Structure formats: structure tokens, C-alpha cells
Amino acid sequence: MTIETDVFNKFDLGTDGPSALELMSTIREFESRLPGYSEAGLIRGSTHPSVGMEAVAVGVSRALRDSDSVASNHRGHAHCLAKGADPGRTLAEILGRRDGYCGGKGGSMHIGVKELGILGTNGIVGAGIGLATGAALAAQAQGADNVAVAYFGDGATNQGVLSEAFNLAAIWNLPVVFVCENNHFAQSATLEEMVAQPDLHRRGEAYGLPSVDVDGMDVEAVSNAAAEAVHRARSGLGPTFIVADTYRYLGHMAGDTEIYRTVDQVEQWKGRDPINRLAEKLLTSNVLDQAQLDAIAATAVSAVDGAESFAKSSPYPDVSSAFTQVSEDIR
């Protein structure tokens, strides 16, 4: 459905296209290196790359300010990077190093950046839904025009908190945007195995939320849907549910044997690749030439090279830091 609102800031290929391509390319490069770090023993515990899903975080974040909040999930590095987190400090956190955003004590699934409104990546499936709704309630109570975003997967839609949060957001008209990254799997379970009604936007409609489906492999489409939803929330018109159709190219986490899907299926989705699609559009619209596209790709590699050497050279946290940033001093 189309949401009735005033004018909102639409994606402009000429202005927004090159920066969206840069950001998606950096995130792609960043996330693609994670399995290698795991194999090299540089990452303790699991980490979940979002290669293929870049258009969602980048499209949504374009509509956000630093003062807006995002509550992320276990597959959350892209949400942080798109919101403005520094790749070096983000990677340092993932590698458990002192210069990470949480001093290296959080890791991949506990990256919080207060000054950027990043409430945290989160290992509890569905938890961010409640946190973003709470942040939206706080913004409303404070009379601030800040918006909160919850990112969660298709699997998380089956957590009970979704029902509570959708209902409260609707009846209290909260400035929250619920973004479901429907990548069609929760670990090895397909969406069709998990739910009898796979049109997930209908879940939002049942609670009275304006709900939209968007092509999550098209940054322009995500960006426009998010801009409209954020505009609604900021204007006091309440919550929106966005379901972004997307796909992860890599396994659920390092070591996933991926026996639940075919190579053909992965290749088919790669045919809709958000980076290639935007690059092609920028080229055919004469916004950028091939040399400029190549330069963007090279810049992404060197940005992540820089992040990697920063993170690897950062020391591990000192044992004495175990009792800091634990409770009251994080407020």
C-alpha cells in the first residue's frame, strides 16, 4: 500500500547514488572478510555476515539522523556501518580488541555506539524490536522528533515481542519503523516451513500498522520506503512496518554447510545483486563512468584494508577492565 504523507526526501540517483554505492561496497568488502577472520581464529564465537543484504541498511540509514536510534540483531554490522560507525572501531569490536566501540568486550553481537544512536547489535532474536519501541516511546515522552528503527529477520517475526511491540506502537502512535529483513531463512529453516502466511506485511496490517513490501535488493526502493516511513514517524503520524525482500549469499555463520539450499538458488539471487544493479544504473544514466565505478570499488577495498590493520594492531582489553562498562558507567 502507499502511505499518505506530505512530501518526503526521495532517492536522487545523481546525488544519493554514488554515496549509496560507496557505502554498500565498503560494507560488502567488510562483511566478505569475516569468514576468513573466523577461520584464522581472530574472532571468538560466532559472527553473521550480511553479504547480499547491503541495500537494506544503506537505504534505511539514508533517512536517519545521528540522534535517531537503531536496534539491531545478530546480523548487524551493516546496520552499524550504515548508521555511521567507523569500520576500524567496528572491526576492532568484532575481533575483541581494546579500540572496539565497547572496549572489545562486546564482540559482533554487542556493538553499541551511544553517540550514533546505535542501541546495539543483539544476540537475542527479536529483542531489538522491543528496544526500538522503547526508544520511540522515550523520544515521544521527551517531545523530541527522533525516530527509532528496529531491524530484525523473518525468523524474528515469530517472537512474541513482535505482537506486543506492534500493538503498543500502533495504539500509542510511536515514532518507530519496523524493518524486517526477509532473507527467507532462519538458520536452516525456510520461511515457508516457519509460517503458514508468508506475506509478512499482513502481520503489520493486522495490528493497524501501515505496512509495505519492498525490493530489498534495490537500494533506491528501500530508501524511498524508509524515507516515507521515517517522515511519517517524525511528523507524529506513527509507526510503519517495512518488509524488505532480500537474501544472504554466505552461510548463516562461519562453518554453515548450507545443505538447506541449492547453489542455483544463491546464484539466482546474485543476479539481483544490489551493488551491481546500482552501478549499472549509474553507468547507463551517465552519472558515473566506468573509471569512477572502478575507483569506488578500489576505495572500498582500501577503506577495509585500513580498518583491518587498525583492528589487528589494537591490543586485547586488559583483565582489569572486566568490571568497567558493566552497569552504571554505561549510562
Contact set with Mg ion (CB under 5 A): 153-155, 183, 185-186
Q: Which is nearer to ligand TPP, 186 or 242 (CB)?
A: 186
Select the binding partner of residue 56 from Mg ion, ligand TPP, none (C-beta < 5 to 8 A, by kind): none
Select the binding partner of residue 166 from Mg ion, ligand TPP, none (C-beta < 5 to 8 A, by kind): none
Cβ atoms within 10 Å of 85's Cβ, excluding its own:
21
Closest contact distance (angstroms) between CB of 189 and Mg ion is: 9
Closest contact distance (angstroms) between CB of 244 and Mg ion is: 11
Q: Which of 239, 223, 208 is nearest to 135 (CA)?
A: 239
Q: For cell 536510534, what's the residue?
A: 69
Closest contact distance (angstroms) between CB of 270 and Mg ion is: 17
Strand partners, 243: 180, 213
Select the binding partner of residue 187 from Mg ion, ligand TPP, none (C-beta < 5 to 8 A, by kind): ligand TPP
Q: How far apart are the first and last CA of the chain?
A: 40
Q: Which is nearer to Mg ion, 72 or 183 (CB)?
A: 183
Select the binding partner of residue 116 from ligand TPP, Mg ion, none (C-beta < 5 to 8 A, by kind): none
What sign does the CA torsion over 153, 2, 149, 96 have?
A: positive
Binding site for ligand TPP (CB under 6 A): 74-75, 123-125, 152-156, 183, 185-187, 252
Select the binding partner of residue 123 from Mg ion, ligand TPP, none (C-beta < 5 to 8 A, by kind): ligand TPP
Closest contact distance (angstroms) between CB of 75 and Mg ion is: 8
Alpha carbons 326 and 199: distance in angstroms, whole number:
41
Closest contact distance (angstroms) between CB of 157 and ligand TPP is: 8
Select the binding partner of residue 84 from Mg ion, ligand TPP, none (C-beta < 5 to 8 A, by kind): none
Contact between 275 and 29 under an 8 Å Cβ cutoff? The reply is no
Closest contact distance (angstroms) between CB of 61 and Mg ion is: 20
Closest contact distance (angstroms) between CB of 130 and ligand TPP is: 12
Q: Which is nearer to Mg ion, 71 or 300 (CB)?
A: 71
The amino acid occupying position 309 is S
Alpha carbons 102 and 118: distance in angstroms, whole number:
12
Alpha carbons 272 and 222: distance in angstroms, whole number:
14
- Alpha carbon distances (Å) from 168 to 40, 42, 132, 176, 177: 45, 42, 12, 11, 13
Q: Which is nearer to Mg ion, 190 or 292 (CB)?
A: 190
State the angle between helix axes of 274-284 and 290-313 in degrees (0 to 180), rounded to the nearest 10.
Answer: 140
Helix (H, G, I), strand (E, B) or coil at 35: helix
Question: Closest-CB residue for ligand TPP?
Answer: 153
Select the binding partner of residue 89 from ligand TPP, Mg ion, none (C-beta < 5 to 8 A, by kind): none
